[in-house]
Chain A
Amino acid sequence: MVTENKKQAIYFLFFKSAAFLSVLILLFVLLYIFEEGVGAININFLTNMWSHRDITQGGILQAIVGTLFLAAGVSIISIPVGVCTAIHLNEYAKDNQFNRIIKLAIRNLAGVPSVIYGIFGLAFFAIFLKLGGSLISASLTLGCMTLPWIITASEEALKAVPFSFREGSYALGATKWQTIKRNVLPHSFSGMLTGSILGISRAMGETAPIIMVGATFFISGLPSSPFDKFMALPYHLFILATQHSSPYARQYALSTALVLVVLIFALNFGVFLWRYKLRKKKKW
């Protein structure tokens, strides 16, 4: 038995280290990006337009704005469809072939490689629908990719509403829609919203789906219509890291990465805080 306990201690130590390795990796990534990237961060970097000739004179304003526009576009496209799909799956769907297929489709969409979304977007939105390389093509493409995440997050929020609420409502003679509208949606709304924000923040970091449908490295000025090409933080950082010839490119890549990471983590952290506050308030 003594040997068993000793064995256990060793294995458990290994397991514990493995688990904390993840913490280390995350901390390392965040700290590294921060330390390397913070050097070039200043007001000019964040608020100036990109200067093609001498990149040290310019800033990444357009990439920031482009990413935000994209986030808005993706939200408009994927959140309504995603939430309604979740409502169908959780409140209406019976266990039949149709719904099993829908659920299968959603799970598979979540596993499709990002570059495949990219070429699909190219072939369908940009070429077939003649939307060209543009904010709207990219929003639609990314929107398809984000849809399964929104659906899953919204389903979780709906599931969190206890069945007893619905039961009490039906027993009072409410119809299904009355029950959903008055008793389920109000209490799942913030969960769906925060889950959607998390999904959108993931979309903001994606590069492959937007490479071929409108993201460019340099445009002059800001996009003025959804049919314009646009700059975006992940693509900007990618080009700086791999194809740019300026000696400052690497530094700027790291700084752009820092801005992107800060943006995404700020959203995640905001959601985390919001959910924490909500959980404390919740009386059920």
Chain B
Amino acid sequence: MRNHRDIKERIIKLFFSATSVTALVILVGIFLFLFITGIQAFGQITPAEFFLGSEWNPNAYEEPKWGILSLIIGTLMITIGALIMAIPVGLASAIYIAEIADSKTKEILKPVIEMIAGIPSVVLGLIGIVFLSPLIANFFGLNHGLNAFTSSAIVGIMVLPTIISISEDVLTSLPNEFREASLALGATKWQMIRMTLFPAALSGIAAAVMLGLGRAVGETMVVLMVAGNALAMPLSFFDPVRPMTANIAIEIKEVVKGSLHYETLFAIGFVLFIMTFIVNFISDIVIEKEMRKYKW
């Protein structure tokens, strides 16, 4: 009887452990497929040509070009631009929600910010095309507004909820003792936030920013629709760019499976995967450490 019971419990426990392996299998699967397919491209292209070549033109008549530098720069420009816009607004909002707002206001603001995260990227891209880019074109006297600047703005909006909610979590998890000690010494609330809370929350906030960065690097639809998709090396923020994600999305439908072009797209995918993996990994570690520090 007891053996029966114990065996049943064991089987059930094993079942649940097995299902949880699925996530790991998927991650490893993604890594493997990207790597195995992508690495084959380097049978015909040198890494130097791939990473440092400034021209990407797989369909060029005489000599196809496989340099992804302009793609990488496109990704970086949009990511940096998005963060420049999202970090100040995001941090300010997080401070307001965590430390200043009363609970009723909090009850409204937090779901609203969550809802921004719920707007599909394709819809934001659409608004970028029909509303924001003509506006920016007008304002800055350009031919059209499909460039790094416009897409940075929209990607910035997409990244806001991530930065806000994680930073707010970090601030809220700081023990009340910090606040009480500071205020008891006669500090104003702002002094308390600036001189006590903010330094303590700094690494957690850095982690939040990193997660936002990861999101910006990986954003596909908005940049596909609004970034302009030009292959030339961008010289200013108002130039059209083609980040790595958009490049893959555009060209994957046209390539022949198994061709060199197909393989290089997977190689680009692998680069993207590694970038977001590293960013997420580091910010995870930082967040874990932060949360643990103040849990006691």
Complex Cα spacing A177 to B14, Å: 12
Contacts of B245 in A (CB 8 A): 113, 115, 208
Whether A212 touches B253, Cβ cut-off 8 Å, given contacts A19-B109, A32-B131, is yes
Contact yes or no, A202 B118, CB < 8 A: yes
Q: Which A residues lie at the B interface, using CB under 8 A?
A: 1, 4-5, 7-8, 11-12, 14-23, 25-26, 29, 32-33, 36, 80-81, 84-85, 87-89, 91-93, 99, 101-102, 104-120, 122-124, 127-128, 144, 147-148, 151, 175-177, 201-202, 204-208, 211-212, 234, 237-238, 241-242, 250, 253-254, 257, 260-261, 264-265, 268, 272
Whether A22 touches B280, Cβ cut-off 8 Å, given contacts A85-B19, A120-B29, is no
A to B contact number (C-beta, < 8 Å):
259
Residue of A nearest to B95 (CB): A15
Interface 1/0s, chain B 110-144, versus A by CB < 8 A? 01110110111111111101110000000000000
Contact yes or no, A257 B24, CB < 8 A: no
Complex Cα spacing A242 to B120, Å: 16
Complex Cα spacing A105 to B253, Å: 29
Contact yes or no, A15 B225, CB < 8 A: no
Complex Cα spacing A179 to B93, Å: 42
Question: Per DSSP, are chain B's interface residues mostly helix, strand or loop, or mixed?
Answer: helix
**A154 CB, min distance to chain B CBs, angstroms:** 12
Contact yes or no, B13 A92, CB < 8 A: yes
Residue of B nearest to A1 (CB): B188
Nearest 3 interchain pairs by C-beta: A205-B120, A113-B218, A18-B92
Contact yes or no, B190 A19, CB < 8 A: no
Whether A116 touches B30, Cβ cut-off 8 Å, given contacts A111-B279, A268-B115, is yes
In the assembled complex, B83 has its CB within 8 A of some CB on chain A = no
In the assembled complex, B257 has its CB within 8 A of some CB on chain A = yes
Residue among A5, A16, A108, A261 with the highest chain B CB neighbour number at 10 A:
A108
Complex Cα spacing A24 to B218, Å: 25
Contact yes or no, A122 B19, CB < 8 A: no
Contacts of B211 in A (CB 8 A): 111
In the assembled complex, B51 has its CB within 8 A of some CB on chain A = no
Complex Cα spacing A204 to B118, Å: 10
In the assembled complex, B290 has its CB within 8 A of some CB on chain A = no
In the assembled complex, B17 has its CB within 8 A of some CB on chain A = yes
